[in-house]
Structure 1
Amino acid sequence: MIRKRLAKDKTEKATAEEDTSKHLGQTPNETLPVQTFDEYHCSGNVEIDFPGLCALLDIKDIPAVSTMHPVSSTAETTSEAGDTEESQSQINTAFKPCLQVELENENPFSAKSFKISGWQVDEQIYRVLQKVLPSLSQLQSLQLWQARLTDQMVISLMSTIPLCSNLRAVALEGNPLPDQSYHLLLSEDSAISHLSLRNNRIGDEGARLIGLALSTTRTANKNLLSLNLAFNSIGDAGATHIAKGLRLNRALLFLSLSNNHIGDSGAAHLAKILGEFALTHEEVVERRKLLLEKAQSLSLRVDSEYTPADQLPSVPSSTSLSISKGESKGTSKKKEASKKDEKPAANKENPKSVKKPSEVKGPQSRAGKPMGKEKQLSSHEDQSSVAQNEHIETVEIVNPLLDQSVQHRNGLLFLPGNTTLTSLNLAGNRITKKSLPLFLASLERQGEGGGLLRLCLQRNRFPPDCESYVKIKELMALSDPLEVNIPESTEEQEGQGA
C-alpha cells in the first residue's frame, strides 16, 4: 500500500509540473518549471512568451496578442470566411489593449512586425517587451503609437534595439517626451535605418538635439536613411539646427518636415546646405586635423611596409665572395617585387583608383592565365591593398571635410553641399515666395552630381503660380522624369493615424 501511494503521489507531482511548464512556455522534458521572471527563456513565439512573462509578474489585465498570418495560396477559396474572422477579431480587440504581430510566414516564430497602438505601456509591460523583443530574430519593424512611453523607457530601448539583429525600422509616434530624448535613436552607433517621429510635439530644443545627432564636425550618423518629423512644432530655430546637422551628414536620403512651423529663415538655412556653402572656422580647423591624421596614417603604413636599407641584416665579409653572384640575382628579383609593391602603394594615395573586391583578380599573363609561383602572394597583396584603400575611402565619405573638390575663393573654403539627400518634404509650413529663389539657386548648382529628386513645397504661404515655384517644379521634373504629382489630400494625410 505504501509503495502504491508513493507511486501515485510521484505521478501526480510530475503531471502538475508538466502542466505548469506548458503554461510558462517550457518543454515537457524540463524537470523544473520556471519560477521567476529572470529564469524564463523566450522561445520567439509571442503568443506564448508574452502572456507567460506577464503571468510571472502577476499582471492582472494581460493585453491580448493579435497575430496576422500571411495570405496563403488558398485565400481565394476561403476569403469570405477569412474576412468574417478578421472583422470579428478587430471587434474583439478594438476596445482593449493588444499586441499586433505580423508574421513573415506560417511559422509562429517568424514575427517581422511588432505594433502597439493606442494604449499605455507601463513599467511592467515594458519590462516584458524588453525580454521578448531580442528573441524575435526576424523582427524588422517596431511601431509604438500613442503608447505613452517615458524618457527613461526610450533610453533603455537603446540597449534593446542592438539585440534585435534585423530591426531597422522604428516608429515612435504620438508620444510626447518631456526631456525630448528622441535624438538617442539617432546616435552614431544606432543601426536604425528608418525612423518616424511624427506627432510628438517636438520643438526647437528637440530639433537641436536631433541636428547634433545627424552630424557634428567629429561625429555623424551613418545608418539612418529616412527621418520623418512631420506634424511637430519645429520652427525656424529648429529647422536651422537640422540644416546644420545636414552639412556633414552623408547617409540620410529622405527627410520630412511637413506640417511644422518653419518660415523663411529656417527654409533659407535648409536651402543653403543643398548647394555649395562656405566652411566655418571650426570646420576649417577640423579639416586640417583630419588631413594631418590621414597623412600620418599613410606615412606609418608606408614605413611598416618598406624596411630601410640600414636595418637589413649584415652579411659576414668571409662569405661575401661566395654569395656575390647569388646576391646579384636576388637583388634583381627584389627590384621586380618592389615595383609590384609600388602599385598598391600608389593606389593608397589615389582612392579613385580603388577597385571593388569583386573586380580584384590575381596577376595574369598576356594570355590571360594566372601566373605561376607568385599567384597566391600577389593575390594576397592585392586583397590587402584593396581593404586598406576601402578604409580610406570610407573615411572620406564619412568626413565630407576631406572632399577633394573643396574650392578656395576669397580666403574661404567652399564645400559642394549635401547631394546625398534625395527627398525633402516642407509641405504645410509658413514659407513665402521670399525663400523660393534660394531653393532654386541651390538646385541649379547641384547639376548632375546627385541631389534632390523630390522637393515638396505645397500648402505654404505663396501662390502656386509663383515664378520661382514653377521653375522649381520644372527642375524636379527633369531630375525625375517618372515623378508622379502627389495630390495635396495625400500630403495632408501624412502623419495622421497610427
Structure 2
Amino acid sequence: MKKRVEKSSKEKVDKVDSVTDEEPPKTADDYQCSGNLELDFTELCKLMGVKEIPSVKIKLSTSSNRGVMEDNQFQTSLESQMTTWSSKPCLQIELENEDHSSVKEVKISGWKVDEVVLQVLSRILPSLINLQCLHMWRAGLTDSTFTSIRNMVSLCSNLRKVVLEGNPLPEQSFHLLLGEDSLLTDLSLRNNHIGEEGARLIGSALSTLHSTNKNLLSLNLAFNSIGDAGAVHIAQGLRLNRSLLCLSLSYNQIGDNGAAHLAEVLGPFALTHEEIVERRKLFIKGEESTMVQPSLVSLADSHERPVSVRSSSSLDRLNKTTKNPAKKKDTPKKEEKPAAGQVAKKEEPKASKKDNKVPRSQAGKSAGKDNNLLVSEQERVEVVETVIPLLDPGIVHTGGKVIHPGNTCLTSLNLSGNKLTEQSLKVFLSSLEGQGECGLLHLSLNRNQFPSDCGTYLKIQEIMSLRDPLKKKRSGQVEDEHGEPKTTNDA
C-alpha cells in the first residue's frame, strides 16, 4: 500500500511539473518564436488581442523538387492552399521545401495592415533565417507603419528583395530603405505616387559626393510621377553609383529634358567643380597613405605574392612621382595631367587595406557567386580601379575640363511609356557610341512620342541588338570555346 501511495504521489508531482513546463506565455513579450510562421503568427495575434486573425496560406516553392516528396498527403494539402488572391485578410507564404520553418517569401495583397499586426510581423520575420523576399501590395501603409517596416527589414539577416507597390506615402520616405548600410539587392516601388521630392531623396540615396549605396542591383520606379525634374535627380544619383544594374522609369511622365540628363550620365561627362575638388582630396589622401604606411600594406598582402609585389613596385613609382613635382615648377594644368595616369597606381595601396570591403560589392554583381572563390590579380586590379568613381583611370583632361568616362555599370534601363522625342534620342545615341563595348545591354524606349521608323531610334536599336546577349543567342550562332562562331552539321 505504501508503495502505491508513493507512486501516485510521484505521478501527481510529475504531472504538475509537466503542466508548469508547458504553461503558455501570458504576454506577447514572453513568447519565443519557433521559426514556424503559421504557428507563431496565430499565437502572437491571440496574445496581442487581434480580433480577426488573418489566415495563413501556404505554397511550395516552384524551384523545389516536388517529385521527391515522401508524404503525398502533405503535398496535396500544400497545393490546395496555394493562392494568389484572397478577399479576406490573409498572409501568403512560400516555403523552400516541405519544412514549415523554411519560409522563403511573405506576401500581403490587398488588405490594410494595422499597427498590431505589423508588431506581430516585426517579432516573427527576423526569426526566419530563410526569408529572402517581402512583398506588400496595396497594404495601406502609412509613414508610421513604413518606419516599422524599415526597422524590421534591417533586422532580417537574409532578406534581399522588398516589393512595396501601391502604397503611397505622404512623406515619400522610401529612400530610407537605401541607406549605406542597406543589404537589399532588389527594390520595387511601383505605383506609389513618387514625385520630384521622392525622386530627389532616392537619387541622393543612390550616391552623393560622400556616400553611395553599394548593394542595390535592381530598382523599379515604374508608374509613378517622377517627371523631368525627378529624372534629373535620379541621373545625379547615377553619376557616382557603381552597383545598380537595372533601373525602370517607365510611365513616369519623363520628357526630353529628364531623358537627356539620364543619357548624359551613361556616356562621357564633365565633372563639376565640387567633384573635381573631392577628386583632388582623394588624391591627397592616397598620397598620404602610401607615404605613411607602405610597409603595412605589403605585410597585409604578404600571403598573396603577386599582389604584394605589384603594390610595392607601384609604391616605388609613386615615391618618385611625388618627388618630381617638387623639383619642377609646372603650371597647375601640367600637374593635373600626370595625376590622371597615376590613378590606378595610387588606388592600389588603399585597396590593400580595404580588401575586405571590395568583394562585397563585387559579390552582388556576380549574382550569387561564391564569395570564397579566389580572385585573380587582374580582377583585383579592375575592382580597385572602379571602387572610387572619381578616381576612375579613364578620366581625361581636355579643353580645360575633366571628363569622366560615364556610368558603364548600368546594364538595363527602361523608359517606356514616357514623353521622349527624337531630340533626346540623339543624346542617347551619342552616349551609347561613347560607351564603346561596355555599358547598357538593354534599353527600352517603346511607347514614346517618336515614330517607330525614326532614323535615330533605328540606329539605337542596331547598337543594342549587337550588345544584347539574349538577341545574340536567338541568332542561332554556335560559339566555340573561345567565343568565336562556328558552323554545325545537323543530321
Aligned partner (choices 403, 411, 415) of residue 422 of structure 1: 411
2:241 aligned partner: 249
| 1:291/1:88 CA distance change after superposition, 3 Å | closer
Deviation of residue 410 (structure 1)?
1.6
1:400 aligned partner: 389
Aligned partner (choices 192, 197, 206) of residue 198 of structure 2: 206
1:40 aligned partner: 31
How big is each residue's C-alpha offset from its partner over 1:52-88, in whole Å with a ceiling of 9 and x where there is no partner?
111110111011111112462178x989x95x98567
Aligned partner (choices 441, 450, 463) of residue 430 of structure 2: 441
TM-score normalised per structure 1: 0.74
TM-score normalised per structure 2: 0.75
Deviation of residue 154 (structure 1)?
2.4
The total of aligned residue pairs comes to 409
Residue identity opposite 1:479 in structure 2: R
Structure 2 residue 66 is matched with structure 1 residue 99: no
Question: C-alpha distance in 2, partners of 1:305/1:418?
Answer: 30
| 1:147/1:435 CA distance change after superposition, 3 Å | same
Residue identity opposite 2:427 in structure 1: L
Q: CA RMSD in A?
A: 3.6
Question: C-alpha distance in 2, partners of 1:432/1:470?
Answer: 13
| 1:179/1:388 CA distance change after superposition, 3 Å | farther
| 1:108/1:342 CA distance change after superposition, 3 Å | closer
Q: Secondary structure at the match of 2:28?
A: coil
2:152 aligned partner: 160
Deviation of residue 155 (structure 1)?
2.5
Aligned partner (choices 288, 295, 300) of residue 287 of structure 2: 295
Cα pair 1:222 1:398 within 8 Å, conserved: no
| Bigger Cα Rg | 1
Q: Secondary structure at the match of 2:162?
A: strand
Question: C-alpha distance in 1, partners of 2:189/2:13?
Answer: 57
Deviation of residue 421 (structure 1)?
0.3
2:461 aligned partner: 473
Structure 2 residue 451 is matched with structure 1 residue 460: no
| 1:404/1:85 CA distance change after superposition, 3 Å | closer
Aligned partner (choices 58, 61, 67) of residue 73 of structure 1: 67
Deviation of residue 12 (structure 1)?
7.2
Q: Secondary structure at the match of 1:268?
A: helix
Residue identity opposite 2:421 in structure 1: T
| 1:104/1:240 CA distance change after superposition, 3 Å | same
Cα pair 2:269 2:406 within 8 Å, conserved: yes
Question: C-alpha distance in 1, partners of 2:105/2:175?
Answer: 23
1:104-123 to 2 correspondences below 5 Å: 104-123=96-115
Deviation of residue 106 (structure 1)?
0.8
Question: C-alpha distance in 2, partners of 1:477/1:267?
Answer: 21
| 1:85/1:50 CA distance change after superposition, 3 Å | closer
Q: Secondary structure at the match of 1:38?
A: helix
Identity of aligned residues (%): 53
1:23-422 to 2 correspondences below 5 Å: 30-70=21-61, 72-73=66-67, 82=76, 86=79, 90=83, 94-302=86-294, 344-347=311-314, 396-422=385-411
Question: C-alpha distance in 2, partners of 1:276/1:426?
Answer: 20
Q: Which runs of 5+ in 1 are unaligned?
A: 18-29, 307-339, 358-385, 487-498
Question: C-alpha distance in 1, partners of 2:242/2:258?
Answer: 21
Question: C-alpha distance in 2, partners of 1:156/1:422?
Answer: 33
2:421 aligned partner: 432
Farther-moved stretch of structure 1 (153-162 vs 404-413)? 153-162
Question: C-alpha distance in 2, partners of 1:106/1:179?
Answer: 41
